[in-house]
């Protein structure tokens, strides 16, 4: 939990200090890459770390990743320019990828099926606490001490985490010679990296249909095809083909992709809605979004009662249905005269539904494989989730901007001279035209329209997540005795999956 807190708090604590960072280092046009560079390296490295944890054990991979993260933190604190800060943040992301892959895998190693839901609740609470206190802590350090301390504060926390992991984490790993899938890892990294890079840059640095965008996505497509061909023949593939041949794993991976998409819609745009339409301050607008961080760990903590009684498949279906209801309520709340409690309730309920989905997409796949495959399965599911977040940031941002652009283009002639010509200036104009003048009212309606379209997109994703949850079979075999202290060799079935020795409660 302490190691995960490093990754969980990092983005939230950095976000409120960006104005001070830009003031000291300059490079305003590049500051978004302080977050994007971190997300990029974290996401693409997760499946590689998951496989390495299966080959060499969780402990050395987690320790190495934590050290990389702390090195990136120390270097970020010493950054002398925006470019250097972005590079050191990318190094942090490489360490965070290890933490995300191995901590979730260890939860499956150390606890049995009945306890994993409760443990996932503990891990989710780390994210909830970070979402609530991270921005306040980051803003306080930046205002009263120095923005460099938002990175230096990681060092003592990481030192304690390393000490506890080194002293108390024990695992028995069968030492044997491994064939590292270098070609597969390289092509997977190129494919994922190019795809996420194109999503992050598309619509901002260049138009979606520009030659640059087409070239980047072409590289991603070619690398993905090459990776699929290489992984088919690799002795120990980074992303094993059998993952996509088993309904439990395929359904969980696709549901995790939907989970990532559902997270990013509100996360990126609700604060803007709160400030522009509801008239909230920055802190209050962030608190609206923090409601999601309350519902999520609560759902994670009680999820075991769901999946032990009705099974993983039906629990995922319940979670997706709750998300759909929350999105529908959020869409209705944007019509008429909304108040602050409506988006709070919507995000609280959405967080509860996402919490149920998140636990099932991790625990169900882990329960079907033995120790030697748990890392790669967990890493692949986590990769799908973070890929969904990258897709969500791009897709919902494009939907929001398109809706506002259309509204501005359809403005009456009497207002066109006073309305901003670019979407990026909408917030500035609203700030200068506080009150109920015709320009302010029209712009607030434009932002409301954009959010309404985003909620429609979220509804489509929720329906898709509900559909893919049904891909998971109602009953499936679980691996028996697959723990870190006593790893059990997997019994491969004809499709390359693991046929567990016993069917546990999770198989219902």
Alpha carbons 377 and 371: distance in angstroms, whole number: 10
Q: So what's the pLDDT on residue 75? A: 95
- If asked whether residues 131 and 51 sit together in one domain, one would say yes
Residue 311: inside a domain, yes or no?
A: yes
- If asked whether residues 423 and 448 sit together in one domain, one would say yes
- If asked whether residues 251 and 212 sit together in one domain, one would say no
Residue 486: inside a domain, yes or no?
A: no
Token code pair at residue 392: 């969500």
Q: So what's the pLDDT on residue 416? A: 65
- If asked whether residues 51 and 125 sit together in one domain, one would say yes
Residue 327: inside a domain, yes or no?
A: yes
Supply the pTM of this predicted model.
0.81
17 closest CA partner among 157, 134, 154, 156:
134
For 502, the 3-state DSSP assignment is strand
Q: So what's the pLDDT on residue 498? A: 37
Residue ranges of the chain whose pLDDT lies below 70: 11, 16, 28-29, 174-178, 282-283, 286, 415-436, 476-508
Q: What is the DSSP string of 433-488?
A: S-SS-HHHHHHHHHHHHHHHHHHHHHHHHHHHHHHHHTTS-SS--B-SS--SSS--
Alpha carbons 218 and 214: distance in angstroms, whole number: 6
- If asked whether residues 154 and 57 sit together in one domain, one would say yes
Residue 497: inside a domain, yes or no?
A: no
- Last residue of some domain: 235, 259, 279? 235
With 0-12 CB in 10 A as exposed, 13-18 as middle and 19+ as buried, what is 454? buried
* Under 8 Å between Cβ of 354 and 223: no
Alpha carbons 363 and 472: distance in angstroms, whole number: 13
Q: So what's the pLDDT on residue 76? A: 93
Residue 346: inside a domain, yes or no?
A: yes
Alpha carbons 2 and 322: distance in angstroms, whole number: 30
pLDDT tens string 458-482: 999 999 999 998 888 877 666 544 3
- Which positions ≥6 away from 182 have C-beta within 8 Å? none
* Under 8 Å between Cβ of 213 and 206: yes
- If asked whether residues 445 and 379 sit together in one domain, one would say yes
* Under 8 Å between Cβ of 56 and 64: no
- If asked whether residues 30 and 127 sit together in one domain, one would say yes
* Under 8 Å between Cβ of 388 and 258: yes
**Owning domain of residue 447:** 243-478
Residue 216: inside a domain, yes or no?
A: yes
Residue 496: inside a domain, yes or no?
A: no
Q: So what's the pLDDT on residue 430? A: 58
Q: So what's the pLDDT on residue 435? A: 57
pLDDT tens string 323-340: 999 988 888 877 777 778
Beta bridge partners of 492: 498
- If asked whether residues 400 and 274 sit together in one domain, one would say yes
- If asked whether residues 366 and 384 sit together in one domain, one would say yes
Residue 493: inside a domain, yes or no?
A: no
- If asked whether residues 320 and 298 sit together in one domain, one would say yes
With 0-12 CB in 10 A as exposed, 13-18 as middle and 19+ as buried, what is 312? buried
Q: So what's the pLDDT on residue 484? A: 31
Q: So what's the pLDDT on residue 428? A: 57
**Could you tell me the CATH number of the domain that includes residue 414?**
1.20.1250.20
Q: So what's the pLDDT on residue 431? A: 54
Instruction: Please state, as a whole number, how many other Cβ atoms lie within 10 Å of the Cβ of residue 217.
Output: 17
- If asked whether residues 204 and 287 sit together in one domain, one would say no
- Which positions ≥6 away from 216 have C-beta within 8 Å? 194, 197, 198, 201
pLDDT tens string 377-407: 988 998 899 888 888 888 888 888 888 888 8
Q: What is the DSSP string of 348-360?
A: HHHHHHHHHHHHH
- If asked whether residues 113 and 222 sit together in one domain, one would say no
- Which positions ≥6 away from 347 have C-beta within 8 Å? 266, 270, 288, 289, 291, 292, 295, 326, 330
Q: So what's the pLDDT on residue 320? A: 92
CA 141 to centroid of chain Cα atoms: 25
Domain count, the chain: 3
């Amino acid at each position: 939990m302490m190691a995960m807190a490093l990754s969980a708090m990092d983005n939230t604590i950095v976000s409120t200090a960006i104005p001070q960072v830009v003031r000291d280092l300059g490079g305003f046009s590049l500051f978004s890459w302080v977050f994007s560079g971190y997300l990029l390296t974290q996401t693409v490295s997760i499946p590689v770390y998951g496989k390495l944890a299966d080959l060499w054990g969780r402990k050395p991979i987690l320790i190495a990743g934590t050290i990389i993260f702390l090195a990136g933190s120390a270097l970020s604190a010493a950054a002398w320019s925006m470019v250097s800060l972005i590079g050191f943040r990318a190094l942090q992301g490489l360490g965070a990828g290890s933490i995300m892959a191995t901590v979730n895998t260890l939860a499956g190693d150390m606890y049995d099926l009945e306890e994993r839901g409760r443990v996932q609740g503990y891990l989710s609470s780390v994210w909830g606490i970070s979402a609530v206190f991270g921005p306040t802590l980051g803003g306080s350090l930046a205002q009263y001490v120095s923005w460099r301390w938002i990175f230096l504060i990681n060092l003592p926390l990481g030192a304690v985490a390393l000490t506890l992991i080194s002293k108390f984490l024990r695992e028995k790993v069968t030492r044997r010679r491994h064939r590292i899938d270098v070609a597969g890892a390289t092509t997977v990294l190129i494919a994922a990296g190019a795809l996420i890079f194109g999503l992050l840059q598309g619509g901002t640095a260049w138009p979606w249909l520009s030659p640059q965008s087409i070239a980047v996505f072409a590289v991603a497509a070619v690398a993905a095809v090459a990776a699929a061909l290489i992984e088919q023949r690799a002795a120990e593939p980074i992303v094993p083909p059998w993952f996509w041949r088993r309904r439990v794993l395929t359904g969980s991976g696709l549901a995790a992709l939907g989970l990532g998409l559902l997270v990013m819609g509100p996360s990126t745009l609700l604060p803007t809605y709160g400030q522009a339409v509801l008239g909230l301050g920055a802190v209050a607008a962030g608190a609206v979004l923090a409601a999601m961080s309350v519902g999520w760990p609560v759902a994670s903590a009680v999820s075991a009662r769901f999946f032990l009684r009705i099974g993983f498949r039906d629990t995922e279906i319940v979670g997706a249905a709750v998300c759909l209801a929350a999105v529908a309520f959020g869409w209705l709340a944007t019509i008429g005269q909304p108040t602050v409690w409506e988006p709070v309730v919507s995000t609280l309920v959405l967080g509860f539904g996402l919490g149920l989905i998140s636990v099932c997409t991790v625990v169900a796949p882990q329960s079907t494989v033995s120790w030697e495959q748990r890392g790669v399965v967990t890493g692949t599911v986590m990769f799908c989730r973070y890929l969904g977040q990258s897709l969500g940031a791009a897709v919902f941002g494009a939907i929001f901007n398109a809706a506002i652009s259309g509204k501005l283009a359809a403005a009456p002639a009497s207002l066109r001279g006073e309305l901003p010509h670019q979407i990026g200036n909408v917030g500035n104009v609203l700030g200068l035209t506080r009150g109920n003048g015709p320009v302010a009212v029209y712009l607030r309606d434009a932002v409301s329209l954009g959010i309404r379209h985003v909620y429609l997109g979220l509804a489509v994703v929720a329906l898709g997540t509900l559909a893919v949850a049904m891909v998971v079979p109602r009953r499936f075999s679980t691996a028996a005795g697959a723990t870190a202290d006593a790893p059990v060799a997997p019994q491969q079935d004809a499709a390359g999956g693991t046929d567990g020795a016993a069917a546990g409660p999770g198989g219902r």
